[in-house]
Chain A
Amino acid sequence: MSSGRTAPWHQPNWDARAAGNFIFGGAGTGLIVFSALAHPFGAAYRLPAFIGLALVAAGLACVWAEIGRPLRALNVYLHPQTSWMTREAMVAPFLFASGAAAIWTGSQAFAWAAAALALVYLTCQAQMIRASRGIPAWRHRLVLPLVMLTGLTEGASVAVLVAAATSDPAWLKWLEAFLLALVIARGFAWYAYRSGLQREGAPVKALAALARLEVTFAILGNWGPVALLIVALAETSGATAFWLGVASALAALASGWLFKFTLITRAAYNQGFALPRLPVRGAGTPGPAAKPGWH
């Protein structure tokens, strides 16, 4: 069709380190939210909240490792008017402060504050992706609910795993119910996003990269856990419910991370170049539009 780089090619600027910010940040903030939700009912707060903050910190460390001039990192605070990256960075210290205060004092008020800030942080991350107008698979409006639901699902998954690992099974069923609702919502958000992209147009290679997630993310990582969680919630045997819950959480968590890794490092084909009309040459007539590499 065309020579040279005219069809969309994969963006070279954000790699696995950038994906790490969304992977760890999403799971961490989701976990902080669920830690606060479960705490009033007697579930442990300190350990899951600490893990949540550690995950968010790991995500930020990934970003720091990605930027070209890490010693200038504080310049990131200079543009809150329009930049979601600045806003994410501005929320972070308050999130860490309130989370640390909640862990230190056991105050429910601080826990709620941390949960609210975690939600804002997650929103900033999702908006950050959506604001990238150069990447069709990112700028689609439905990426917003999908990334947010993915983060919350990962948080609920880690909450289930922490509750299981710390012999805190009292809240396991509640957390499993939350997780079930979230994976169902995430599944619908995934299909809405993919069909929206197909309907409105996207680079062929981006669609192909997302299509390759159908088995690992949608079937094994999403609808598989839905089935397992339904059985777990209906199961009266504690041991069976426990292990089904753990398996579901692991699958939902791993698939969520795989989705975000793919979104950032495999499906991020740029806009490419296009001409709505080809020019008249000499005494000829103008030619049709050219938009190589698009669905």
Chain B
Amino acid sequence: MTRWAMAVDLRRCVGCQTCTTACRHANATPPGVQWRQVLDMEAGEYPDVRRAFVPVGCMHCGDPPCEHVCPTTATKKRDDGLVTIDYELCIGCGYCAVACPYQARHIVHRATFAYGEEPTESEQLRHDPERISVATKCTFCKDRIDSAKEEGLTPGVDPEATPACVNACITETLVFGDRDDPNSNVSRLLAETLHFRMHEELGTDPGMYYIWDRKEQK
């Protein structure tokens, strides 16, 4: 089996938001909608204050609450772990959005553009009316993954078959690959590091792993 997953090395992220920008460029998301965003989290009290930059988005859960509640089957979990949305089936009820504990889903009810009411030439070319009033979210750039097999490419290794955010990351914070393959770059990285998954206690089996330290130190 294949389970596409992402490792996020929190030790490396500098919060540059290049992944956010790359995602917006690759997926033509409207202003205010970020399928990949980077949180700036602080904890502690002066003088012992810590800060972490945390990339978040759809976790492509193994047990996705959004899929359970979706009344239309627009949201599906594929055998390879990707959670997808069929824009033609979605009725925009928002139930998936309130079921998602990662705030990963977005619904916009009117087209908005970066510079006023009129779209730029690029926005006009890439505007997809099917995405209005339906749920949208990170797809792990599934088109790239789906074309990988035909083209003999490996997602997470070959840039053409790898999510845009991973390709763009300047610090190699984001690593993508097959969690079920012990030799994949993701599996090898996770084997040698300490990591957690966000809100794991909710039983969602998320597909994003956050690395916080080396294993040898513990």
Given A134-B65, A271-B199, A68 and B133 touching (CB < 8 A)?
Answer: yes
Least distance between B90 CB and chain A CB atoms (Å): 7
Q: CA A67 – CA B107 in complex, angstroms?
A: 10
Tell me whether A133 and B70 are in contact (CB under 8 A).
no
Binds A, one of B22-30, B94-102, B120-128, B152-160: B94-102
In the complex, whether A167 has a CB less than 8 A from a CB of chain B is: no
Least distance between B39 CB and chain A CB atoms (Å): 5
Tell me whether B69 and A68 are in contact (CB under 8 A).
no
Tell me whether B69 and A277 are in contact (CB under 8 A).
no
Given A268-B98, A290-B41, A277 and B71 touching (CB < 8 A)?
Answer: no
Q: Considering the complex, give the chain B residue whose CB is closest to the CB of A85.
A: B71
B145-177 vs A, Cβ < 8 Å mask (1 yes, 0 no): 000000000000000000000000000000000
Tell me whether B41 and A13 are in contact (CB under 8 A).
no
Chain B residues within 8 Å of A279, by CB: 10-11, 52, 210-213
Tell me whether A287 and B71 are in contact (CB under 8 A).
no
Least distance between A199 CB and chain B CB atoms (Å): 15
Tell me whether A278 and B52 are in contact (CB under 8 A).
yes
Tell me whether A290 and B52 are in contact (CB under 8 A).
yes
B41-78 vs A, Cβ < 8 Å mask (1 yes, 0 no): 11110000010101010000000010111111110000
Q: CA A128 – CA B50 in complex, angstroms?
A: 39
Tell me whether A271 and B102 are in contact (CB under 8 A).
yes
Given A135-B98, A138-B98, A75 and B65 touching (CB < 8 A)?
Answer: no
In the complex, whether A214 has a CB less than 8 A from a CB of chain B is: no
In the complex, whether A132 has a CB less than 8 A from a CB of chain B is: yes
In the complex, whether A86 has a CB less than 8 A from a CB of chain B is: yes
Q: CA A273 – CA B208 in complex, angstroms?
A: 14
Q: Give the bracket for the number of chain B residues in contact with chain A.
A: 35 or more
Chain A residues within 8 Å of B198, by CB: 273-275
A69 partner, pick from B50, B54, B133, beta carbons under 8 A: B133
In the complex, whether A94 has a CB less than 8 A from a CB of chain B is: no
Q: Considering the complex, give the chain A residue whose CB is closest to the CB of B53.
A: A279
Chain B residues within 8 Å of A272, by CB: 103
In the complex, whether B191 has a CB less than 8 A from a CB of chain A is: no
Chain B residues within 8 Å of A67, by CB: 91-94
A114-139 vs B, Cβ < 8 Å mask (1 yes, 0 no): 00000000000000100111110010
Given A4-B40, A277-B212, A279-B52, A131 and B71 touching (CB < 8 A)?
Answer: no
In the complex, whether B134 has a CB less than 8 A from a CB of chain A is: yes
Q: CA A131 – CA B183 in complex, angstroms?
A: 37
Least distance between B198 CB and chain A CB atoms (Å): 7
In the complex, whether A98 has a CB less than 8 A from a CB of chain B is: no
Tell me whether B98 and A13 are in contact (CB under 8 A).
yes
Given A131-B65, A273-B39, A287 and B50 touching (CB < 8 A)?
Answer: yes
Q: Considering the complex, give the chain B residue whose CB is closest to the CB of A132.
A: B98
The B1-50 residues at the A interface (CB cut-off 8 A) are 10-11, 39-44, 50
Tell me whether A270 and B103 are in contact (CB under 8 A).
yes
The A241-295 residues at the B interface (CB cut-off 8 A) are 268, 270-281, 286-290, 292
The A36-81 residues at the B interface (CB cut-off 8 A) are 63, 66-70, 72-73, 75-79
Closest 8 CB pairs of A and B: A68-B92, A68-B133, A13-B94, A279-B10, A290-B43, A287-B50, A85-B71, A75-B72
Given A2-B40, A271-B102, A280-B213, 20 additional A-B pairs, CB 8 A:
A1-B42, A3-B42, A14-B94, A63-B93, A66-B94, A75-B74, A78-B71, A78-B89, A79-B71, A89-B71, A128-B95, A134-B102, A270-B98, A270-B101, A274-B198, A277-B213, A278-B10, A278-B52, A278-B212, A286-B212
- Residues of B that sit less than 8 Å from A by CB: 10-11, 39-44, 50, 52, 54, 56, 65, 67-74, 89-95, 97-103, 107, 109, 132-134, 196, 198-199, 202, 204, 210-214, 217
- Residues of A that sit less than 8 Å from B by CB: 1-6, 11, 13-14, 18, 63, 66-70, 72-73, 75-79, 82-86, 89, 128, 131-135, 138, 268, 270-281, 286-290, 292
Pairs across A and B, CB under 8 Å, 13 listed: A2-B40, A67-B91, A68-B94, A72-B89, A76-B91, A77-B71, A85-B71, A131-B99, A133-B202, A134-B100, A277-B212, A286-B213, A287-B52
